[in-house]
A = this chain, B = another copy of it.
Amino acid sequence: MADINGENRATASSLTPRLTAAGRPATVSVDAVNEHGAVIPTRIPGEHPLTLYLDKREIVTLMTLGAAPEALVLGYLRNQRLVSRLEDIAAVQVDWETDSAAVTTRNGNADVEKRLERRTITSGCGQGTMFGDLMESLDEVALPDDGRLDAATLATLLDNVRRQDSIYKEAGAVHGCALAAADGEILMFVEDVGRHNAVDAIAGQMWLKNMDGGNKIFYTTGRLTSEMVIKTAQMGIPFMVSRSGLTEMGHAIARKIGLTVIGRATGKHYLLFTGQHRFRNDSV
């Protein structure tokens, strides 16, 4: 069946992974003392370790807000290219009693052992490896060139982000990512204490919904480093928008693969860095 965004949702079948629904409350309240000496109850975001086991093999511990743990785990496996197809996953069981996410594949972990042999797991924030491997994967990426984004739609997207209910507004200390349709409507919005967790959770949700990135816009509050650019390209999304700036390598990779990157997008201002052929500004 096709949903409102024209996507084919994965139908519930024996090939859809069984998932827990173990999202946790996003914030807690603690007391802090302000500059006037007053005690201020202050909401802060949750942060919890979640250790990922793939067919009982420990892979990584993610520090997460915990709002969408199953999607996070799926997106992590997808973006790290540890599992190639959603159909290969039989179940994702998140258990906060043991802070664990147990992923069971249909065919065992022979492939995983081979993949892990070749590299160290990557990470967010520029500390990890897998860089060479990720760069190689870019040769397989072909972003569609027919999509267009105009300045008015960008303004709509930014306004939608601004009006989005968010943990950030309530508690700060999180990064947010949004997946938007070509008209700027927000389809998914995920926040996490790590900006890489947020984008991985979006990738996981897209996988579950069998959603194509080709006609989408990816928005993030975070900086556009090389890994963020690579992940957006891996999801097949041609448009990337951020409130923040981008780095030299983010810029170089985006230019190489023809990704349309718009940074410093706040209110009426923005900077179009790369992929200008997909952007239109009728007001100039």
In the complex the two chains form, what is the Cα distance from A47 to B227 in whole Å? 11
| Least CB distance, A167 to chain B, in whole angstroms | 11
Task: Please provide the chain A residues from 68 to 89 with a CB less than 8 Å away from any CB of chain B in the complex.
Answer: 76
- Add 6 more A-B contacts to A30-B273, A123-B125, A126-B194 (CB < 8 A): A28-B248, A35-B270, A45-B248, A47-B250, A120-B121, A173-B247
Stretch among A36-44, A137-145, A176-184, A211-219 lining the B interface: A36-44
Q: Are A62 and B30 in contact (CB under 8 A)?
A: no
Given contacts A40-B271, A193-B247, A272-B33, contact A123 B131 (CB under 8 A): no
The reply to whether B63 and A126 form a contact with Cβ atoms under 8 Å apart is: yes
Do residues B45 and A127 form an inter-chain contact, with CB atoms below 8 A? no
User: Is there contact, CB below 8 Å, between A35 and B121?
Assistant: no
CA distance A34 to B196 in the complex (A): 27
Q: Tell me the complex Cα distance, A126–B50, Å.
A: 10
* Minimum CB–CB distance for A46 against chain B, Å: 5
